[in-house]
Amino acid sequence: MTMMKATVFVAPGRIELVDKPIPDVGPNDALIRITTTTICGTDVHILKGEYPVKPGLTIGHEPVGVIEKLGSAVQGYTEGQRVIAGAICPNFNSYAAQDGAPSQDGSYLIPSGQCGRHGYKATAGWRFGNLIDGTQAEYVLVPDAQANLAPIPDGLTDEQVLMCPDIMSTGFKGAENANIRLGDTVAVFAQGPIGLCATAGARLLGATTVIAVDGNDHRLGVSKVMGADVTLNFRNCDVVDEILKLTDGRGVDSAIEALGTQGTFESALRILKPGGTLSSLGVYSSDLKIPLGAFAAGLGDHKINTALCPGGKERMRRLMNVVASERVDLGVLVTHRYKLDDIVAAYELFANQRDGVLKVAIQP
């Protein structure tokens, strides 16, 4: 067999399932046969043309699968082994990785002239479905495989680890970037899959009051399961006023923005205490404006952290440990299941947020 089915970006508003050659394996690569993958909100941004990728690129960046073939230089793995790989798959020998920013590693782009000689390039650590063919296919080629493949512990199902490559890593990074300390009050704006993981991460890191904000009562109900203490539907109240009341006017210690709009970013800043941290996870599609008063004219000791989810086998190992410990159950986020042949219908469901969808499991 030399061909595989793959979901490709054609033009804004259009994806197609096509036949593509199964990739050749280089010495540092691994070919993974996909057993389960999923659709991310970023994929919807790509579909809509809000995040540009080249036509014909296979999209998707959340792989769970089995090693089909290993490159000659890859050690410590066996063909037939169940693995995941992070959505972010950098070269950990790069300057950016050794500088503590592996998600921003573009070292592999240096030969083509797309990156400066030290290899720093924003978002370039995100290769799957962005700069190389992604995971919504029957097979995916994992670069720098020895650093990026993580074996799945025995006893964990595909759906239990499906959130680890991106959604869980991103949501938890949002909580980590929020500088949460024991006893903190944290607000999480938007309770989509990433926001729900941020809610779970905030609780795991020691926040004792987690306030979840969304406009969907079903998602707010799920946020309670993920660890939210207070839920606020912005359709029913002025969220900023309500949170300031809840904190006696102090504001929250940390706010996590998990949607990527001016409204959520601004609200997160308005309820933040002086000296607090705003952790931004949203993918923004237009310029942001910072309100002068909420920003205290730049004098409020606020911290604003942004993030692209961490990847690599050690990050994936730690996340799967959290899943195996049953500290949090992210399998409940899988609400729908589709075959790869029906992925266009899956996108239509997910992009339009119908039928209570949170995450869709896609299987070849």
pLDDT tens digits along 115-136: 998 999 999 999 999 999 999 9
Residue with tokens 């999209």: 59
Query: Which CATH architecture best describes the domain 3-89+125-165+309-362?
Result: Alpha-Beta Complex (3.90)
Residue with tokens 């082994």: 81
- Average pLDDT for 98-102: 96
Q: Please give the C-alpha separations between residue 128 and each of 86, 178, 349, in angstroms, as whole numbers.
A: 9, 27, 22
Question: What does the mean pLDDT of the chain come to?
Answer: 96
> Taking a C-beta distance cutoff of 8 angstroms, is the pair 59, 139 a contact?
no
Q: Give me the pLDDT at residue 235, please.
A: 97
Q: Kindly report the number of other CB atoms within 10 A of residue 284's CB atom.
A: 16
The domain spans of the chain are: 3-89+125-165+309-362, 168-306
Q: Is the pLDDT assigned to residue 113 strictly greater than 90?
A: yes
pLDDT tens readout for residues 217-246? 999 999 999 999 999 999 999 999 999 999
Output the CA angle 324-327-329, nearest 5 degrees.
75
SS (H, E, C) 31-60: EEEEEEEECCHHHHHHHCCCCCCCCCCECC
Label residue 277 by pLDDT band (50, 70, 90).
very high
- Average pLDDT for 264-286: 96
Quickly name the fold that domain 168-306 has: Rossmann fold (3.40.50)
DSSP string, 193-243: HHHHHHHHHHHHTT-SEEEEEES-HHHHHHHHHHT-SEEEETTTS-HHHHH
Label residue 94 by pLDDT band (50, 70, 90).
very high
Q: Whats the size of the chain, residue-wise?
A: 364
Label residue 285 by pLDDT band (50, 70, 90).
confident
> Taking a C-beta distance cutoff of 8 angstroms, is the pair 222, 196 a contact?
yes
Q: Percent of the chain having pLDDT more than 90?
A: 97
Q: Give me the pLDDT at residue 1, please.
A: 76
> Taking a C-beta distance cutoff of 8 angstroms, is the pair 316, 153 a contact?
no
